[in-house]
Amino acid sequence: MILLLLAAQAATLGATNYGLDAPMPTPKTTPAFADEFNGRTIDRRKWRFDTSRNAEGWANHERQYYAKDRPRNARIEKGSLIIEARRETLSKARFPDWGGQSYSSAKLVSRVPRGYGFYEVRAMLPCGRGSWPAVWLLPSGGRWPDEGEIDIVELVGWDPNVVHATVHSGAFNHTKGTQRGAQKRVATACTRYHRYQLDWRADVITIGVDGRAVMRVANDQPGGKAAWPFTRPYDLILNLAVGGDWGGQKGIDDTAFPQRMAVDYVRYWRPAPSRSRR
């Protein structure tokens, strides 16, 4: 009975604890979308590079320049996508949108937005101080955080091997200190691949690691879209930021760069069709 009560609390958007430890099995069916990164180059039919804020600077006071289609920063290597952040000074002649950043990296965004379903990304994360890797979902258009954000996994290098799962909305976000999330220590997050998972349903979001749920929130609070905007397809994003309000909270260790995030695969399953009752 105690375990049931704890699980119920963890599944409410109004709880004080969103952590959960429960089975989170991967679907046995064929994914509706997958990139196994087995080709020679990044599949541009599946991914685009986001360079939109290079000139003006990225949010959260991050300090990277996101390169477009530059193998030094994003490439396929031994069956994995490698996103590499480097300490370097670029030139306006070669990179007209360079905003004076001291670091280069890459940010990949899915070409096709996807909504409810099961997501699994097998990745090995960097842990150098100042690195900030993330696998997350964000809708196109609208204003943040009103349209929502789902962070399947984030890690900040100054707190190595602690992975974070979070959701943000207009009512619940980090600028107000009301974001809904949980964290888990994964001792080999930076030395081995792990499976980071999202089960996104109409009224429940569950995020997990290696087949075990880490957090769960449910749409059970008043507030409409401000509380629960997670009702339309989002873009899946893979990126490695440098510094920033959170990633750079303890400074940046330049001697630790370059830093690499390796992604073995990305897979997505559509929701199973609901069965009608007679």
Average pLDDT over residues 55-65: 97
* Cis peptide bond N-terminal to 271, omega within 30: no
CATH of domain 29-195+232-269: 2.60.120.200
Q: What is the mean pLDDT of residues 200-224?
A: 92
Catalytic residue, from 62, 120, 147, 149: name it: 149
Question: Higher-confidence residue: 68 or 176?
Answer: 68
CA–CA dist 7, 265 (Å, integer): 30
The residue annotated as part of the active site, out of 62, 120, 147, 154, is 154
Query: pLDDT at residue 239 above 80?
Result: yes
The mean pLDDT of 171-176, rounded to a whole number, is 88
Strands 194-200 and 204-209: antiparallel
Given a contact cutoff of 8 angstroms between Cβ atoms, the answer to whether 215 and 10 are in contact is yes
Mean pLDDT of 191-219: 96
Domain boundaries, the chain: 29-195+232-269
Percent of the chain whose predicted confidence (pLDDT) is above 70? 91
Active site residue 149: yes
CA 96 to chain centre: 28
Cβ atoms within 10 Å, residue 34: 14
**Is the per-residue pLDDT at 67 higher than 60?**
yes
